[in-house]
């Protein structure tokens, strides 16, 4: 019995040592140790794979004082958790030299029934990579299996700039406005016959999105943003249909704790005509707006974003302008994003 108890205690000690203290949200936080009432910041170099390493000195051992570790939550803006809220881009960019890898999955509607596992059998994915070229300029590329879309974007922070993820000096209660300009070009790489009849031009494959993103931390828990956009579609269905579509959108994030948050997005075309661009043509406005609700989970290395929405496409030029259907239970689709930043 004594050997069993000792084995359990030893296993608990080894497990605790291997796990180490929690370093939250891609090491955005700060881990410090206290020794006899004093608190010292542990340098970044001492943090390896979510664990803290440091050496004891003879003096500290002689003082016979208990050494304790404490995790300090990330002191960063609510808009800096990940580049994307659910599908939409946030105003924040990546700090210079940092990268973000993301994987998105969207499935069929819940109304498709048990035969399709309520949409799980009808999935699409998107894989992308983003990079901070400077503290104001972020670029990225991605590939989506839906319509075989390849796209690239640039995002420039007009107001505010990205801080390094390891910087814990950014005030949590920062309520200043952040603004960014986002431009995206997408290429439909399907076979020519799937896009349009002959004569076929490469420009038929292209769509463009330009968005002004303005966000504000209302307090340390609530972030709100508006996102007016202009979408240009090179190839439309009818000659009387406008190639340019004005879209108004918004998103929000509510922080529940240092590890969890709720998110929401909405976007919809709002002008039937754009006089200064296509005065004689009519914009085809979808009946229902794009809408999504999400739940975010922050771990030591990743951000997981679970969502339900009425859109299956993950590319802005498509879900912003197409008719996604009503935001009802039978028309909702489950999806998730996995984000890794380094």
Joined together, the tokens standing for residue 280 give 């004689």
Q: What are phi and psi of 341, to 5 degrees?
A: -120, 140
Instruction: Tell the burial category of 45 from Cβ atoms under 10 Å away from its Cβ (0-12, 13-18, 19+).
Output: exposed
d(CA 337, CA 136): 24
Which residues, listed in sequence order, are joined to residue 150 by a DSSP beta bridge? Answer: 143, 187
pLDDT of residue 165: 52
Say whether the peptide bond before residue 132 is cis (omega within 30 degrees of 0).
no
Letter string b/e over residues 176-212, b meaning 16 or more CB atoms within 10 A of that residue's CB? eebbbebebebebeeeeeeeeeeeeeeeebbbbbebe
Structure tokens at 293: 């609700």
The pLDDT of residue 101 = 94
Q: What CATH class does 78-341 carry?
A: mainly beta
pLDDT for the residue numbered 88: 94
DSSP H stretches of helix in 137-252? 192-195
For residue 92, give the nearest of 223, 248, 218, 186 by alpha carbon: 223
Alpha carbon separation from 135 to 50, 309, 311 (Å, rounded): 25, 32, 32
DSSP 89: B
CB–CB of 100/120 below 8 Å?
A: no
Q: Which of 221, 325, 201, 318 is nearest to 263 (CA)?
A: 221
In this structure, the number of other CB atoms found within 10 A of the CB of residue 271 comes to 16
Compute CA distances 159 → 19, 133, 220, 248, whole Å.
39, 17, 19, 20
Q: How many CB atoms lie within 10 A of CB 160?
A: 21
342 residues of the chain, pLDDT tens digit each: 444 444 444 444 333 333 333 333 233 333 433 333 334 444 444 544 444 444 444 454 444 444 444 433 443 445 456 889 999 999 989 989 999 999 999 999 998 888 888 889 889 999 999 999 998 999 999 999 999 999 999 999 998 766 655 443 333 445 578 999 999 999 999 998 888 888 888 999 999 999 999 999 888 889 999 999 999 999 888 888 888 999 999 999 999 988 899 999 999 998 887 777 766 788 888 889 999 999 999 887 789 999 999 998 999 999 999 888 888 888 899 999 999 988
DSSP, collapsed to helix, strand or coil, labels residue 27 as: helix
Identify whether the C-beta of residue 253 lies closer than 8 Å to the C-beta of residue 229.
Answer: no
Distance between CA 142 and CA 151 in Å, rounded? Answer: 6
Give me the residue spans of the domains in the chain: 20-72, 78-341
Strand segments (E) across the chain: 30-35, 38-41, 47-48, 51-52, 67-72, 99-109, 124-132, 137-144, 149-159, 177-188, 206-217, 222-226, 229-233, 244-255, 260-269, 290-298, 302-309, 333-341
pTM score > 0.75 for this model?
no
Please report the pLDDT score of residue 11 as a whole number: 40
């Amino acid at each position: 019995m004594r050997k069993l108890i000792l084995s359990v205690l030893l296993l608990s000690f080894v497990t605790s040592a291997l796990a180490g203290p929690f370093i939250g949200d891609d090491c955005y936080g700060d881990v410090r140790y206290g020794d006899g009432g004093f608190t010292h910041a542990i340098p970044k170099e001492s943090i390896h794979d979510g664990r803290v390493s440091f050496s004891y000195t003879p003096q500290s051992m002689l003082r016979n004082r208990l050494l304790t570790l404490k995790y300090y939550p990330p002191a960063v803006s609510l808009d800096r958790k990940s580049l994307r809220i659910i599908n939409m881009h946030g105003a924040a960019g990546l700090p210079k030299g940092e990268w973000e890898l993301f994987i998105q999955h969207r499935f069929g509607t819940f109304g498709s029934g048990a035969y399709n596992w309520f949409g799980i059998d009808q999935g699409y994915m998107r894989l992308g990579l983003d990079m901070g070229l400077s503290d104001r300029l972020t670029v990225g590329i991605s590939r989506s299996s839906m319509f075989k879309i390849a796209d690239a974007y640039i995002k420039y922070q007009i107001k505010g700039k990205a801080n390094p993820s390891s910087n814990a000096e950014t005030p949590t209660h920062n309520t200043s406005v952040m603004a960014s300009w986002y431009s995206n070009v997408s290429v439909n790489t399907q076979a020519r016959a799937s896009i349009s009849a002959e004569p076929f031009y490469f420009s038929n494959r292209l769509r463009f999105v330009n968005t002004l993103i303005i966000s504000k931390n209302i307090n340390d828990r609530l972030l709100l943003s508006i996102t007016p956009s202009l979408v240009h579609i090179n190839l439309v269905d009818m000659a009387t249909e406008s190639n340019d579509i004005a879209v108004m959108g918004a998103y929000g994030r509510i922080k529940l704790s240092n590890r969890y948050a709720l998110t929401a997005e909405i976007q919809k075309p709002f002008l039937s005509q754009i006089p200064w661009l296509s005065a004689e043509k009519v914009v085809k406005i979808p009946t229902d707006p794009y809408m999504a609700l999400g739940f975010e989970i922050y771990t030591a290395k990743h951000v997981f974003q679970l969502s339900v929405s009425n859109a299956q496409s993950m590319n802005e030029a498509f879900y912003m302008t197409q008719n996604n259907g009503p935001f009802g239970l039978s028309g909702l689709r489950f999806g998730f994003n996995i984000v890794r930043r380094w």
